[in-house]
Amino acid sequence: MGVAIGSALVLAGLGHDAYGELLGHHLVSGIGTAERPDLAMGWYQSALVAAPVFAPGQPERNGLIRKASMMMNGQSAAPVVQPEPVSAPGGMGLKGFASKAAGLLSGTSD
């Protein structure tokens, strides 16, 4: 995971702020680093004002990420569309950000 975090840091440092979203995901989930939702929020905020690079055809995505990052830090925000939890085929893989956000918004976070 160090390569993923390092690559995102380099890209964000070169002015590609949208890649800060990856750092936010790693920090909020504690993947490859300590779990720090307080630090993740800053990365999410800078990524949300940049030109999207992940799923640019989903305009509701930024609102969902903003709401979830604020809720993970004990803040509230305007309501957004309820996300659907997803998992990798066959139930394999790590729990995704969308699943964690769906749990927060429905009140069933782990």
The percentage of residues in the chain with a pLDDT greater than 90, rounded to a whole number, is: 3
Euclidean distance between CA atoms 65 and 52, whole angstroms: 12
pLDDT: which is higher, 71 or 109: 71
Compute and round to an integer the Cα radius of gyration of the chain: 14
Per residue in 45-65, pLDDT tens? 888 888 878 787 887 888 888
Give the pLDDT confidence score for residue 86 in this predicted structure. 53
What ranges do the domains of the chain cover?
2-106
Per residue in 27-41, pLDDT tens? 988 889 998 888 888
Rounded to two decimals, what is the model's pTM?
0.62
Cα 85 to its chain centre, rounded Å, is 14
